Amino acid sequence: MTIRKLFFLFWTTLLIGGMSAPVIGGILQQWTGPIGLDMERQLWAGVMFGAVAQMGFFAYMVFNMVAVGFLRNQAVYQGLQLLLTLGALYQAAMWGWQKGDGPSLLNSLILPGMLLIAGLTAAWFKQKATKPEAFVPTVFFMVTATMLEAIPSLEQKSMEMVLFMVCSLLVCNAWQIMQLHRLVKDTPAGALGKKQKKLDAKA
């Protein structure tokens, strides 16, 4: 991936975050009531969420590179990702259960349900655009990375603010994961690989 493509991903993710956060905030305010932020603060919060999503995305890329180096078996690696995804969903459910005045089944299902639906949706589009093997890593990234990125909001007692941050992060993360294959497919390494395949075919 070139510097130019990295800049494109960086600025577009910030833009996506800044544009989506006020929309998400408006929807949440209609559903749950005031979230404590005016439109301008929601916009800048969205830009900040975009920056957080960027850090999470590159952390995931480093993790993926290291894990692939250690775990040569793809089935084992995908199994590990599924276990970590289930762990993240469990933690999201436990967090929701403890919110409010007392244990609430509805609260325990909102956050993990939202993460899982977003992850499965992004993974479906990702595998359609690339290959079936991309399904599990996409779900893992959308669920686990988003949960880790949203830790600052999980320390608050406001479910509205948690949903505001998590939804904004999901939009940013979906944008990044769907752009990844488009940004790396025309790299020099990829071009050399295609050229080699053509030479092998002629041989």
CB 13 within 8 A of CB 172: yes
Is residue 34 left, alpha or beta, with left meaning phi > 0 and alpha meaning psi from -120 to 50? beta
Q: How confident is the model at residue 194 (pLDDT cuts 50, 70, 90)?
A: very low
Kindly give, in sequence order, each residue whose CB lies less than 8 Å from that of residue 92, ignoring residues fewer than 6 positions away: 111, 112, 115, 147
CB 111 within 8 A of CB 95: yes
Q: How confident is the model at residue 189 (pLDDT cuts 50, 70, 90)?
A: very low
Q: What share of the chain has pLDDT > 90, as a percent?
A: 56
Task: Of 7-11, 69-73, 131-135, give the lowest mean pLDDT range.
Answer: 69-73
Q: What is the pLDDT of residue 165?
A: 93
Long-range contacts of 84-90 (CB under 8 A, 24+ apart): 84/140, 84/144, 85/119, 85/139, 85/140, 85/143, 85/144, 87/144, 88/115, 88/143, 88/144, 88/147, 88/148, 89/115, 89/116, 89/143
Q: What is the pLDDT of residue 196?
A: 41
182-196 average pLDDT score: 55
Q: What is the pLDDT of residue 186?
A: 56
Each residue's pLDDT tens digit, 143-183: 999 999 998 887 777 788 889 999 999 999 999 999 998 88
Q: What is the pLDDT of residue 94?
A: 85
Each residue's pLDDT tens digit, 60-109: 999 998 988 888 888 899 999 999 999 999 998 888 777 655 556 777 88
Q: What is the pLDDT of residue 201?
A: 41
Residue 197 has pLDDT above 80, yes or no: no
